[in-house]
Structure 1
Amino acid sequence: MIPEGKPEVDATLRAILKDVLGLSNEQVAGFDDSTPLFGALPELDSMAVAGVLTEIEDRLGIVIDDDEVDGEMLETFGALSTFASAKALV
């Protein structure tokens, strides 16, 4: 699935975080650009990051290089959305 716009990317990211981390619909629905992720969500540990990134690649049809992954990209929902959108919406 290649998204047509940022709202679709955000919806896909919410679904990924829900599925991979086992978060509730209510929790992910409340995420906004400033919602902290890595370091704030106990479910998003270093092992879970790999699963989240794999699902992002699969569901958005993008490739994430290892050198693109850093703490800033995973710091907030907005940062993750900006990164994924820049890769998926070309």
Structure 2
Amino acid sequence: MDTQKQVLRILDEVLSLDGRSASFTRDTALLGAIPELDSMAVVSLITALEEQLGISVEDDEIEGATFATVGALSDFVQARLP
């Protein structure tokens, strides 16, 4: 499974999007565009990504641009995969 598909699956699960993420593309805006993705959801999302994909994210690596689009988040995750 490719990274973007994994990220979309986890987004759908963590944000309870009920399958809405299936229509998301790399250019789909996330932070500020999806009401479910607030600051608390970002923390839950990072935790889920770490646990399910075996990555580690340091606090100083987290910035708004990472969550700007599906593509930005997927690239961020891809860069941390073993």
Task: Look up the equivalent residue of 1:48 and give its one-letter code.
Answer: A
Q: After the TM superposition, which parts of structure 1 deviate over 2 Å for at least 4 consecutive aligned residues?
A: none
Q: What does residue 71 of structure 1 align with? A: 64
**Structure 1 length normalisation: TM-score?**
0.86
Q: What does residue 7 of structure 2 align with? A: 13
Q: What displacement does 1:8 show?
A: 2.3
Q: What displacement does 1:84 show?
A: 0.3
Q: What does residue 59 of structure 1 align with? A: 52
Specify which structure has the higher proportion of helix.
2
**Structure 2 length normalisation: TM-score?**
0.94
Q: What does residue 47 of structure 1 align with? A: 40
Q: What does residue 23 of structure 1 align with? A: 17
RMSD: 1.0
Aligned pairs, how many? 82
- For structure 1, list consecutive stretches of 5 or more residues without a partner in the other structure: 1-6
Report if the CA contact (8 A) 1:17-1:52 is conserved: yes
The 1-side partners of 2:68 and 2:33 are apart by: 9
Q: What displacement does 1:11 show?
A: 1.7
Identity of aligned residues (%): 43
Q: What displacement does 1:15 show?
A: 1.3
